[in-house]
Each structure stands twice: as C-alpha cells, then as structure tokens.
Chains A and B, each alone.
Chain A
C-alpha cells in the first residue's frame, strides 16, 4: 500500500474517530509525522463546575416547570441559612446542609441527573444523621439569637442560648 500523500510505501495506518464516523489514513513515515504533529485539538475540556451544574439543572427542571412555577420556586428559601432557591440555582453552591432537605423536591431530579442515583451507599460517620441535622439547626438558632439581641428581646435570646447549649453538649 502506498502513502495517500506521496509515492512512498505507507507504514502508518491511522484510524481517526470523530463524531461517530471513522476515517482511515495510510501514510509514509514523513507524512505520518507531519500529520501527527499538526496541532492536536486537545482534550474535550471539562466545563467549569458551575456551568455544568447549570446545564444539569436545566435538564432536570425543563421536564415539568413552567415559567410561573419556576418563579415561585426561585423564591423558596431555606429556613436555616436563608438562601433562596434562585441563589442556589445561579451560584451552584448551597448555603448550608439543611438546603438539601429544604429543596428536596427540586433537588432529587437534579441529583438523579448528575449521579444517576439518589441514594448514598458508601461510608457512614459514627454519629447519626439525626445528630447531624440537630447540629445544623444551630445555624438557625444562633442567627435567631443574634436577631433577638439586636432587637433587645433578651428574654427570647436567653431561651435560645439555653437551647443552643443543650444541642452543643449533646453527642
């Protein structure tokens, strides 16, 4: 077999795969070298995490949401950290652990879209998930205590402080 670009014998047989079709090339050493050192296109670069997430989100939500529903959904906020669904959707980052519970309904299709699964099968910490959720409530309690102090509602602040201490000492 001869080189496809000159008369020398073809010693390189290259199969290019692109977009589902493949092209076979038979080249001599010189032309193969030329061909192979042409600027390679580089790896399919991984889009930034946030952009990829936005795409997942779009796919997961495009299924059923109308514009109105989406608008209503965007205003939903987490009672613990105060982040809105809109903030999560645009930043791609949650505000606290409770967001997973607060946005559960919207989140599950998204998780299924990203991971193909929605249930953890791996390692578990030695403490319980319940203890973890209780600790997360500290974020809300500390915030409320701060607000109570700012509005000079010291009785309420005292109650909150006691509740915070109770949770902090429980293990």
Chain B
C-alpha cells in the first residue's frame, strides 16, 4: 500500500511539474504568443473579455507578474478553460480536446497494449530459441521495423492497402454517410476506419518490444534460478514462462512506461496521415494554423495521459514484484 501511495505522490508531483512546464513554455518563447493568438482571434470578430483572459492565462500576459500569471493559469486549468480555438472558431478548446481525446486514447491505448503483449511473446520465443532462425528472424526484422518512421509506415499502408487494393477506408474515423450512434453499422464502420492506423502503430512499435523483451529474457536465462530450475527437472514451459519470462517482464514493464511517450508521439503523426480525428490530427491542425491555445492544451492533455498510463504501469509492476511489497 505504501508503494501505491508513493506512486500516487509521484504522479501528482510529476503532473504538477508538467503543468508548470506547460506554463513556462510559451512565456520563454520569443515574441508574444498571447498577442499573436488574440490578434488572430479578433479577425473572426470581437474577442470577449472572458476569452481574452483565458488565452492570457494560458499563454502569458505581456508585462504581468509571473506569480500572478501562474495563479490565474492554475485556476484556468482547474476550470478546464483554455480559451477559444482560432482554427475551429468559435469552439472552446476544451470542447475540441474532449472530443478528440477518446479517439486517440482508445486507438493508441488498445494497439499499444496489443503490440506490447505480442512483442513480449515473440521476444520470449526468440530468447528461448536463441541462435536459431526463430531468434534471428524476429530480431533482425524487429531492428529494421523499429527504424521505420511511423508516418512512412502509415503512408505505405495507406497507398497499397487503401488506395491500390482498396481494402480499407483511407481517411477519418467513420464514413461521411454513417451517422454516429450505438448501432452495428456505425461500430463496424469505425472499426474498419481504425484498421490502417492501428496496423501502422502495431507494425512500427512491435520491433522495439520484441528486442527489449528478448534482451532482458536472455539475461534472466543466464540467472542461477533458471539453471537450478532445469537441474530440478521442471518442464521447459514452466522454466521459460514462470522462471525466466516472469522475471524478465519486470524490467521490460519499466521500459514500457518510458517508451510510451515515443509511441504516443509516433501515433500523432499516424493520425495526421489518416486524418484520424484524434489529438494528433488536432495538434497538426493547431500547428499549421499556429493556433497556440489549442496546441498548448493538447500538449498538456497528451502529457497528462502519458503520465497516467505510466502510473498504471507502475502500480501493475508493484503487483508483479514481491520485492516492492515489503
């Protein structure tokens, strides 16, 4: 329990640090992002004082005291008020983010867990059969695949499976003629649209998990407890899974938490390739239009999501390792 509490403490502390980084970033930049954003907004009509305040809280008031700004910034975060989007005027940023977040979390979350599990299993097999083709094939192809830029894998799949073979829809989260709702037609359409982005993330991230698991597993295979388990005539499946893999998965889980940021970053590019309406695509639009309030809010949400995922991994680790329970 102490372990979980300390992890919660760490989560809160890290979240606070991330929020603060988010506060400092626009204020450290040359020029005045807040002025630029407000100037752009005013092209759509008059900017209400509330909107102006929200934007200034996020991006900085020229000349204001930093501490004062920090307090109002924290307050606006608490109210989940990030101002209005310039790109999608007059929608509030918070609304846009809330709409986009589920797409990304579900897509990236599911695929990442799937890739991790699959990669870990392949890694276990490769390490167990080390020295054979069952080792060298996944290891070499894994090294090569993990060097692929996410967006390029996406472009290739989009081109060949989407445009050439026309197996899957090429853009968006659901077709233009499908009405959102909890019905079979809509769900299957959403699933069909998710196939290509999911496949992209799966293919590109798989290699890393395979290599990571294989390496840690090879280390644990050299441990005395594995030799002793063999000396005691345990079945090779038991030795591989309960002795070697069970221990190898622990450092690999830590690696999972740390590599997560990279996968999420890559996934954002994938969303852009497929015009998938998640935070990545939204971020792309914010960047192209220099929509600072939207960009800033998205960065914060992405960071917080990764932190939360890391926290879940940490807690899981605690359950798997008896040494943390003491």
Say whether A associates with B. no
Interface residues of A (CB under 8 A from B): none
